């Protein structure tokens, strides 16, 4: 027992001696830091890295932790370590201290050399020295409170959340842009040549216009037949957010002049009364591409100013403070005022508006490329590709359900991500891998209050007085469901016509055209009937393209002949019975195809607008309305 007590006493003395040595080493590091930075400087550094309280702690581990934060310049260190780890940590801190001391010594020697050079060239640097003296006389703006806030800001820099799922799902190559093969090919060909042209991209939102423009430039950079070099910039801006002052005091797109009094040029220029031009995005895009999203929503006056830059390929600045004879003006400012600044770039504008809404001056200077609406098959491919990127397991029916509720890739990805979040947070979810099922998708759809894209669907059953026309809006086509019912008038020649009040005057005129053609071809007078024509679902019909459909619905109602419900027709009806050409034909065919239409009758004048019939649908051009009878009426 006595021998054990002696050994225990010796161990206690050894541990105490070790702890004392660690305390000495720790105090030695603190004294050296005080020598390097000074007492006030050391306190400021400790405040900056949230180490004030730890420095004054009686606990050795906390004092060592304070040294770690100061020397490693990291206020977020919170590691707790055992006493046996302190020697190794002090070794590391001593190395950092030696490195800081060496760096400080080199900096001091460099400062001495700079001071010596300043003294040698006193006459050249006298003004700068005076300014430095004035600055040195001022008290430092930093204190413990401000440095603590700075430390908090730096600590916040270490906190990061994961990227947005939509950012991860954004296409990274042209092969991932689904359903836009023609548009991608057209865009590449217009950029990958010695004479690239300005371009306007039309199409519905969420189909890849912006992403395609970004990726297209990367593809043609450095190509032998391309005008773009490897360093060609891609400058992107949203036209809806561009704000400018008509007085030209600010213009982020074209650039502006900072006058020495009102806007405040740089200090050395303002003191001399010299205006300073500030370059805009058109100059940053020099030699590359300026991409303006939502071009149609840009301020019209700003559009006209941009047109001037496109013509001149330069930006010119003006200021009443500029004196070309002032010798104090730097040469680069003189050149900017007198010669302008180069702004030779290719403009790519994207818009969801109709082409008629874009300035004719812009359209005349730009090539036009149209992005197609996405089909259900395209949406399915996008959903499957996104699930692979996010490593999501899902039932085979999920992509089909999402395709019924979305017409664009961005919207489809939002539903998929929402359904995945719901599946991930189920209380009973115990599986290692999460599976997205039908019920998750429907819950996400219900939460967003979405409805199916196609409210009208084709049918195999024929009906009397009911037919499908086709309309288009914002590069999306949809079926227009028309129905008509006719009753013999109580008194011949005194019948009435009832029509949707909200449809518009153009559609009502189509009814009168149909009445004239009907009387001319069959001798029937609509005044002998009480006729009710209804556009199911309401809405406004802006153009006359529903004229042929209105005529067939009226004829079916009067003759009691059933119409096929898997056939749609578009075209303006002329008084001679001709079916005249219409616009937005591609969008209308898309809408009919989405709704399951098998045959679509179009004006013969539009026949060359379509290269070939899309899969699963037959396109039939007709010149006169009576040519449609054999396709729409059931014998």
- 190-244 tens-digit pLDDT: 999 889 889 999 988 888 888 898 888 888 887 888 889 888 999 999 988 887 7
**CATH topology identical between 180-370 and 463-632:** no
Q: pTM for the full model?
A: 0.67
Question: 440: burial class by Cβ within 10 Å (0-12, 13-18, 19+)?
Answer: buried
Tell me, which fold does domain 379-447 have in CATH?
A: Helicase, Ruva Protein; domain 3 (1.10.8)
Q: What is the DSSP letter of 474?
A: T
Q: Which residues are catalytic?
A: 545, 588
Distance CA 507, CA 567 (A): 20
Beta pairing partners, 393: 435
Distance CA 63, CA 82 (A): 13
Sign of the dihedral defined by the CA atoms of residues 439, 441, 443, 446, in that order:
negative
Answer with the residue of higher pLDDT: 333 or 74: 333
Per-residue pLDDT tens over the stretch 322-339: 888 888 888 888 888 889
pLDDT at position 349 is 92
Q: Which band of pLDDT confidence, cut at 50, 70 and 90, is reported for residue 4?
A: very low
pLDDT at position 6 is 47
- We find that the CATH architecture of domain 180-370 is 3-Layer(aba) Sandwich (3.40)
| Among 284, 411, 303, CA closest to 349 | 303
Instruction: Give the Å distances, CA to CA, from 277 to 86, 271, 274, 534.
Output: 59, 16, 10, 62
Tell me, which fold does domain 463-632 have in CATH?
A: Ribosomal Protein S5; domain 2 (3.30.230)
Q: Following DSSP, what letter does each residue of 481-501 receive, concatenated?
A: EEEEEEEE-SSTT---EE--T
E strands, 155-249, where? Answer: 198-202, 234-238
Sequence spans of domains, the chain: 2-154, 180-370, 379-447, 463-632
Contact (CB, 8 A) for 285 and 265:
no
| Among 544, 553, 602, CA closest to 573 | 544
List phi, psi (to 5°) of 51: -125, 10
Per-residue pLDDT tens over the stretch 384-398: 999 888 888 888 889
Question: 69: burial class by Cβ within 10 Å (0-12, 13-18, 19+)?
Answer: buried
Distance CA 247, CA 319 (A): 11
Per-residue pLDDT tens over the stretch 548-605: 888 899 888 898 999 999 899 998 889 888 999 888 888 888 888 888 888 899 998 8
């Amino acid at each position: 027992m006595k021998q054990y007590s002696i050994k225990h006493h010796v161990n206690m003395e050894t541990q105490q001696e070790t702890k004392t040595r660690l305390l000495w080493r720790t105090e030695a590091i603190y004294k050296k830091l005080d020598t390097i930075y000074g007492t006030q400087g050391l306190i400021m550094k400790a405040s900056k890295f949230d180490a004030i309280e730890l420095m004054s702690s009686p606990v050795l581990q906390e004092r060592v932790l304070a040294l770690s934060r100061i020397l490693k310049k990291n206020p977020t260190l919170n590691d707790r370590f055992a006493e046996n780890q302190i020697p190794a940590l002090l070794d590391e801190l001593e190395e950092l201290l030696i490195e800081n001391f060496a760096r400080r010594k080199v900096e001091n020697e460099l400062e001495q050399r700079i001071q010596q050079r300043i003294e040698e060239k006193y006459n050249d640097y006298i003004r700068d020295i005076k300014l430095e003296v004035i600055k040195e006389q001022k008290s430092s703006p930093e204190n413990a409170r401000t440095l603590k806030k700075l430390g908090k800001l730096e600590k916040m820099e270490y906190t990061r959340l994961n990227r947005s799922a939509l950012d991860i799902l954004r296409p990274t190559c042209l092969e991932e842009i689904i359903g836009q093969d023609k548009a991608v090919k057209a865009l590449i060909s217009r950029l990958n040549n010695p004479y690239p042209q300005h371009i306007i991209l039309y199409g519905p939102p969420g189909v890849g216009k912006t992403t395609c423009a970004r990726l297209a430039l990367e593809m043609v950079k450095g190509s032998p037949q391309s005008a773009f070099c490897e360093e060609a910039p891609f400058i992107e801006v949203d036209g809806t957010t561009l704000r400018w002052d008509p007085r030209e005091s600010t213009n982020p797109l074209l650039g502006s002049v900072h006058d020495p009094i009102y806007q405040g040029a740089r200090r050395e220029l303002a003191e001399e009364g010299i205006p300073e031009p500030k370059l805009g995005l058109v100059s940053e895009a020099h030699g590359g591409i300026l991409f303006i999203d939502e071009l149609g929503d840009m301020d019209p006056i700003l559009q006209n100013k941009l047109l001037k830059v496109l013509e001149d390929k330069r930006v010119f600045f003006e200021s009443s403070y500029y004196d070309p004879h002032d010798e104090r003006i730097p040469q680069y400012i003189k050149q900017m005022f007198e010669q302008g600044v180069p702004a030779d770039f290719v403009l790519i504008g994207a818009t969801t508006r109709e082409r008629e809404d874009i300035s004719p001056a812009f359209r005349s200077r730009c090539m036009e490329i149209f992005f197609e609406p996405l089909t259900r098959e395209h949406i399915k491919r996008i959903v499957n590709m996104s699930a692979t990127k996010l490593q999501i397991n899902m039932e085979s029916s999920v992509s089909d359900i999402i395709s019924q509720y979305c017409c664009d890739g961005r919207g489809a990805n939002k539903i998929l991500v929402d359904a995945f979040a719901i599946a991930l947070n189920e209380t009973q979810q115990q599986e290692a891998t999460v599976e997205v099922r039908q019920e998750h998708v429907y819950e996400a759809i219900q939460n967003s209050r979405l409805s199916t894209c196609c409210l009208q669907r084709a049918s195999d059953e024929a009906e009397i007085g009911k037919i499908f026309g086709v309309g288009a809006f914002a590069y999306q086509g949809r079926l227009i469901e028309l129905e008509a019912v006719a009753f013999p008038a109580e008194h011949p020649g005194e019948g009435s016509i009832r029509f949707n009040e909200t449809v518009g005057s153009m559609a009502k005129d189509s009814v009168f055209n149909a009445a004239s053609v009907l009387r001319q071809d069959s001798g029937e007078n609509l005044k002998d009937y009480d006729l009710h024509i209804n556009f199911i679902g309401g809405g406004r019909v802006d153009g006359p393209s529903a004229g042929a459909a209105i005529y067939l619905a009226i004829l079916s109602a009067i003759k009691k002949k059933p119409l096929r419900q898997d056939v749609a027709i578009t075209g303006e009806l002329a008084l001679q019975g001709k079916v005249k050409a219409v616009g937005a034909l591609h969008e209308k065919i898309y809408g009919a195809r989405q709704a399951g239409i098998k045959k679509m009758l179009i004006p013969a004048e539009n026949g060359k607008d379509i290269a070939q019939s899309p899969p699963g649908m037959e396109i039939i051009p007709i010149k006169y309305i009576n040519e449609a009878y054999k396709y729409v009426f059931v014998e």
